[in-house]
Structure 1
Amino acid sequence: MKIIKLIICLLFGLMFINAGLDKFFHYMPMPEMKPEQAKIFEAFNQLFWLIPLVGAVEILGGLLFIFPKTRALGAIVILPVMVGIVIHNFTMDKSPMGMSIAGLLFLINLWMIIDNKEKYRALLK
């Protein structure tokens, strides 16, 4: 079970590192967007600091998520981005593939938060 968890966390972290790097280097093709999605994307680009900030959080969270010693911190760092991904996929995109991937990634993130709950107890006191 330990090796499966390690592989899942490695893949999760690498996916977010890749997504974060793409926000800086733009090497992945842009998907087709509905007109309302294009308007939102354009609004995000008007806030010149937002996309680089999300990219930096994705890279940092992905790196932290890979290593067992820092995984608890990585799971918390990446959580706000993950919530945004889930909300976007379930409200705007609504494709079965997108919703299932977002849901699976969200469950992995929650699993690691629950798995590391003892590390968070001091923060809640």
Structure 2
Amino acid sequence: MKVLTHVPGAVLAFLFLFGGINYFFPMSPMPAMTGNPAKFMELFGGTGYMTAIKVLEILGGVLIILPAHRAKALLILGPIAVNILFFEIFIQGAPGIGILLVALVGVQAYIDKAKFRVLV
């Protein structure tokens, strides 16, 4: 049963590390965006915003691999996951992987809830 507590962290690590590294070193093609998503990304394209987010995704992905640092990783990845979900709902018009990301962050936060008690 203890192994199951590592599954959400492992999946989050894979998804965020893949997304972050794929931004800098494309391994799989990004699907073409049209409409509002394309306009949104065009606005952020030259600002460095996405670069900063992708660096944080990689940092969070590395930290979540280490059980002692999972709470710190969730403080980085949680807001990113919520923003991905909001992008999908409000700009893209259809939720996608953001639901899974937010759910996994929530499950991992519940598993590590003792580490967050100092914040209350």
Identify the TM-score tier after normalising by the shorter chain: 0.7 to 0.9
Q: Relative CO higher for 1 or 2, CA cutoff 8 Å, sep ≥ 6?
A: 2
User: Secondary structure of the residue that 2:68 maps to in structure 1?
Assistant: coil
Partner of 1:32: 32
Q: CA 1:4–1:114 in structure 2 vs 1: closer, same or farther (change >3 Å)?
A: closer
Structure 2 unpaired stretches of 5+: none
CA deviation vs aligned residue, 1:33-82 (integer Å, no higher than 9, x gap):
222211111111121x2111111100011111122111111111111110
- Structure-2 residue corresponding to 1:116: 112
Q: Deviations over 1:87-110 (max 9, x none)?
A: 011222344xxx253212211101
Counterpart residue number, 1:69: 68
Quickly say closer, same or farther: Cα 1:101–1:19, change in 2 above 3 A: same
CA–CA separation in structure 2 for the residues paired with 1:92 and 1:43: 13
Equivalence for 1:14: 14
What is the TM-score of this pair, normalised by structure 2? 0.87
- 2:13–2:64 CA contact under 8 A, matched in 1: yes
| SS at 2:67 equivalent | coil
For the aligned residues, what is the CA RMSD? 1.7
Q: Which moved more, 1:25-34 or 1:77-86?
A: 25-34
Question: TM-score with structure 1 length normalisation?
Answer: 0.84
For structure 1, the 5+ residue unaligned runs are none
